Amino acid sequence: MTPARPLTLGMILTATAGFLDAIGFVALGGYYISFMSGNTTQLGAALPAGELGVVVLSASLVVLFFIGSALGTLVVLANPRWGAARVSAIIAAGVTVALGLSLIGLSIPRTMLILALTAGAQNAVLPAHGAVRLGATFVTGTLYAAGQDFALALRRLAPPFRWLQHLGVWLSLMGGAALGAFVYRHAGIGALLIPLIIYTAFAAANGWIASQTK
């Protein structure tokens, strides 16, 4: 079982990812900033149809997510103690840039591309802790793990309630997405202020923890 503290932090990050993904989904008209399986399917389906606009947008999102994942991992590897703080700060900076560019007139769909980069980086913020994947921006594997652990629990091969932790992570993404869509419909691009505050808080908290660690 994953301890309550890291599980809670991971669920907050995953909920924030869902919040941003919902904003991206609405702004981009059905594309995702963190769900690359969906974008990959869009890309594959558009190729034989010759839908160039769909191909370019889907491929751009996938490539930027890939770059963000690599960047986040490199930052953590360069200095593991400060990795979480620095990656969180990079994500906060990316959200700030996306918000700022939108406010000065750049089209919102274009600014969503920046958020795909930050979504990739987020997956490097929290290290693995137990069986539950923490802070991830995607939950297909988490949902599978819930079903797998449920089956194992029935056979007494896994802790009886670990599958509920996986479901909790899944629910956090869904809840974050619902909240993100609601706030975006009422506040527009200003909705990005909420994840900006969360990522900034993570950066500050992780920075303080790193500074206290020898």
Residue 192 forms part of a structural domain: yes
Which stretch of 102-111, 120-129, 167-176 has the lowest confidence by average pLDDT?
120-129
Residue 82 pLDDT > 90:
yes
96 domain residue, yes or no: yes
The string of pLDDT tens digits covering residues 38-62 is 999 999 999 999 999 999 999 999 9
Examine the pLDDT at 95 and tell me if it is beyond 80: yes
d(CA 6, CA 62) in angstroms, rounded, equals 28
Rounded CA gap, 47 and 57, in Å?
A: 12
Q: Give the pLDDT band (50/70/90) at residue 129.
A: low
- Provide the number of structural domains found in the chain: 1
Tell whether 212 is covered by a domain. no
Q: What is the pTM of this model?
A: 0.93
The CA distance from 204 to 26, in Å, is: 30
What is residue 133's DSSP assignment?
A: P
More confident residue, 95 or 139: 95
What domain range includes position 78?
4-205
**Residue 213 covered by a domain:** no
How long, in residues, is the chain?
214
What residue type is 201 in one-letter code?
A
User: Does residue 142 sit within a domain?
Assistant: yes
